[in-house]
C-alpha cells in the first residue's frame, strides 16, 4: 500500500480542527493498510506512535505568533533536512492548510522529488479586526498562492472554503469539496443524568454547551454577551464553555463585569474522551463563530448527539444547517439575535427536540468519517 507523508502545522496532543481531521484520517488510513508518516512541529508530550501504523516526525519551530492567538509555527533551518528525508521515501505528500510554512516547504520538496502534492484547506479568511489582517493577506498572496498554484489537487472542507481558494488563484479543475465527518460510535446521546453526575453539573438546570478555543475569531465575546441577555429572563440557565486560549482572562473579566458568574462555567481544556459526556449532559449547543470557519467539527459532533444547534452563518455552516429544520442560524457578532434564538428554543422545548432529532439523522446519513475516507482514497488512487 502507498506510503503517505502527512504535513500539518500541529498534530495531537495539540488539539484543533486541523489536528483532529488529520488524525482521524490517518488512523483510518492505517487501518486500510496505508503507511502514514506525519511531519509536524515539535510540542511538549509528542507521541511518536499515536496509533498503530502512524509515525510522527517532529520538526523544530518557533511559536512566536501564539501569543497573539495565531497557531502559526515558524520553521527553523533544521526542519529542511527532516522534510527532505521523509518526503523522499513517500509516494504522496498531503499537506493541511494553504498558509503554513510547513505546507510551502513540503510542496517545494515534493516537486523536487516528483511526488504528488495534495492540499486540504480547512478555513476561510479569518477577520481578526486588527493589524493581523494585513499579515494574513500578505501570507495569502505569497506563501498561500504559491502552495495552491503547485498543488496537484486541492480539497476544501466546504463550498465557502472552495470559493476562498479560488479567489486566490486555485485551479478550479483541480479543486473539490470534501466534507469532514464525525464518529457516530463516539458521539451519540446516552443518559443525561449520568453524564451530569459524572461532570458535577447540576441535574435540573438547562445547560447550553459550546466548544471553542478562547480566541477572537471563535466568537466567544458574542456568546458571553448573549448569555447575559438570556440570563435576564432565564436566571437558572447555565452556559458551559469548553476550551482554552489566550483570551481567557479577558473573558473572565467580562463575565464579572456582567455579573453572570453563576450562569457561565469555563471548563478549560476538555480531553477527547470526555467531550461526548459534555455533549450528552447538555440541552443545547451554540456555535458563535465570528469568521474564518471552514466547517467546524464540533457542529457535526453536537448534531450527532441530537442537540439543537444555534450557529452563526459563517463559513460552511449554512451548507449543513437548514434553518429551523436541523438547526438555527443567526448572523455573526450579533448577541441580540443569538439570545433571541436561544430564548425561543428554551420556551419551545418540543421544537428543540424536533430540531435535534433531525440533526442527528442528517449527520448519520451524510457526514461520517467512513464517507470522508472513501472520497480521500479515491483522490489518492488518482496519483498512486
CA distance 236 to 204: 9
State the pairing for strand pair 35-41/153-156: unpaired
Q: Are 342 and 207 in contact (CB under 8 A)?
A: no
Per-residue pLDDT of the chain (384 residues; tens, 9 = 90+): 899 999 999 999 887 889 999 999 999 999 999 999 999 998 888 888 888 889 999 988 887 666 666 777 888 888 888 999 999 999 999 999 998 999 999 999 999 999 999 999 999 877 777 777 788 888 888 898 999 999 999 999 999 999 999 999 999 999 999 999 999 989 987 777 789 999 999 999 999 999 988 876 579 999 999 999 999 999 999 999 999 888 899 999 999 999 999 999 999 999 888 999 999 999 999 999 988 888 999 999 999 999 999 999 999 999 999 999 999 999 999 999 999 999 999 999 999 999 999 999 999 999 999 999 999 999 999 999
Cell of 106: 513540503
Per-residue model confidence as pLDDT tens digits over 141-192: 889 899 999 999 999 999 999 999 999 999 999 999 999 999 998 998 777 7
CA distance 292 to 119: 18
Cell of 366: 451524510
CA distance 174 to 309: 33
Long-range CB contacts for residues 360-363, cutoff 8 Å, separation at least 24: 360/188, 360/189, 360/303, 360/304, 360/305, 360/306, 362/303, 362/320, 362/326, 363/182, 363/184, 363/300, 363/303, 363/304
CA distance 338 to 269: 24
| pLDDT number for residue 245 | 84
| pLDDT number for residue 141 | 82
Distance of CA 331 to the CA centre of its chain: 20
Beta bridge partners of 238: 207
CA distance 257 to 131: 27
Placement of cell 509528542 in the chain: 46
CA distances, 107 to each of 28, 35, 175 (Å): 24, 20, 16
CA distance 234 to 346: 9
Per-residue model confidence as pLDDT tens digits over 267-297: 999 988 899 999 999 999 999 998 888 899 9
What architecture is domain 192-366? 3-Layer(aba) Sandwich (3.40)
- Sorted by where each begins, the domain ranges of the chain are 3-181+368-381, 192-366
Q: Return the closest-CA partner of residue 306 out of 274, 367, 353.
A: 353
Q: How many helices (H) and strands (E) does the chain have?
A: 15, 15
To which H or E segment does residue 47 belong?
A: none
Can you give the C-alpha Rg of the chain in angstroms? 21
CATH classification of 3-181+368-381 is 3.40.50.2000, yes or no?
yes
| pLDDT number for residue 71 | 74
State the pairing for strand pair 61-62/74-75: antiparallel
| pLDDT number for residue 47 | 80
User: From edge to edge, which strands make up the β-sheet containing 54-59?
Assistant: 54-59, 35-41, 3-7, 92-96, 117-121, 153-156, 175-177
CA distance 296 to 301: 9
CA distance 265 to 338: 19
| pLDDT number for residue 67 | 65
CA distance 176 to 159: 9
Same fold for the domain at 3-181+368-381 and the one at 192-366? yes
Amino acid at each position: 500500500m502507498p506510503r503517505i507523508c502527512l504535513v500539518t502545522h500541529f498534530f495531537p496532543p495539540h488539539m484543533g480542527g486541523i489536528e483532529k481531521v488529520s488524525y482521524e484520517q490517518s488512523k483510518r488510513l492505517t487501518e486500510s493498510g496505508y503507511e502514514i508518516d506525519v511531519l509536524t512541529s515539535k510540542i511538549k508530550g509528542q507521541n511518536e506512535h499515536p496509533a498503530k501504523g502512524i509515525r510522527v516526525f517532529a520538526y523544530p519551530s518557533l511559536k512566536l505568533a501564539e501569543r497573539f492567538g495565531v497557531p502559526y509555527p515558524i520553521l527553523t533551518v533544521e526542519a529542511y533536512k527532516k522534510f527532505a528525508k521523509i518526503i523522499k521515501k513517500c509516494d504522496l505528500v498531503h499537506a493541511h492548510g494553504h498558509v503554513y510554512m510547513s505546507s510551502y516547504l513540503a510542496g517545494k520538496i515534493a516537486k523536487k522529488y516528483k511526488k504528488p502534492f495534495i492540499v486540504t484547506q480547512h478555513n476561510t479568511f479569518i477577520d481578526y479586526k486588527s493589524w493581523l489582517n494585513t499579515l494574513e493577506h500578505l501570507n495569502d498572496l505569497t506563501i498561500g498562492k504559491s502552495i495552491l498554484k503547485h498543488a496537484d489537487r486541492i480539497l476544501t472542507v466546504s463550498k465557502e472554503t472552495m470559493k476562498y481558494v479560488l479567489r486566490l488563484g486555485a485551479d478550479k479543475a483541480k479543486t473539490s469539496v470534501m466534507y469532514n465527518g464525525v464518529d457516530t460510535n463516539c458521539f451519540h446521546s446516552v443518559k443525561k443524568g449520568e453524564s451530569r453526575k459524572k461532570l458535577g453539573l447540576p441535574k435540573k438546570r438547562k445547560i447550553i454547551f459550546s466548544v471553542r478555543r478562547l480566541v477572537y475569531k471563535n466568537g466567544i465575546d458574542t456568546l458571553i454577551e448573549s448569555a447575559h441577555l438570556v440570563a435576564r429572563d432565564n436566571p437558572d440557565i447555565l452556559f458551559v464553555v469548553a476550551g482554552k486560549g489566550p483570551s481567557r482572562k479577558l473573558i473572565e473579566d467580562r463575565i464579572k463585569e456582567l455579573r453572570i458568574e453563576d450562569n457561565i462555567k469555563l471548563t478549560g481544556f476538555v480531553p477527547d474522551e470526555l467531550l461526548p459526556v459534555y455533549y450528552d449532559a447538555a440541552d443545547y449547543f451554540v456555535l458563535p463563530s465570528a469568521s474564518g470557519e471552514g466547517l467546524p467539527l464540533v457542529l457535526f459532533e453536537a448534531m450527532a448527539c441530537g442537540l439543537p444547534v444555534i450557529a452563526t452563518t459563517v463559513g460552511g455552516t449554512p451548507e449543513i444547517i437548514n434553518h429551523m429544520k436541523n438547526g438555527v442560524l443567526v448572523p455573526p457578532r450579533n448577541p441580540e439575535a443569538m439570545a433571541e434564538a436561544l430564548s425561543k428554543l428554551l420556551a419551545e422545548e418540543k421544537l428543540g427536540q424536533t430540531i435535534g432529532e433531525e440533526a442527528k439523522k442528517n449527520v448519520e446519513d451524510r457526514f461520517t468519517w467512513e464517507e470522508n475516507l472513501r472520497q480521500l482514497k479515491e483522490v489518492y488512487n488518482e496519483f498512486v
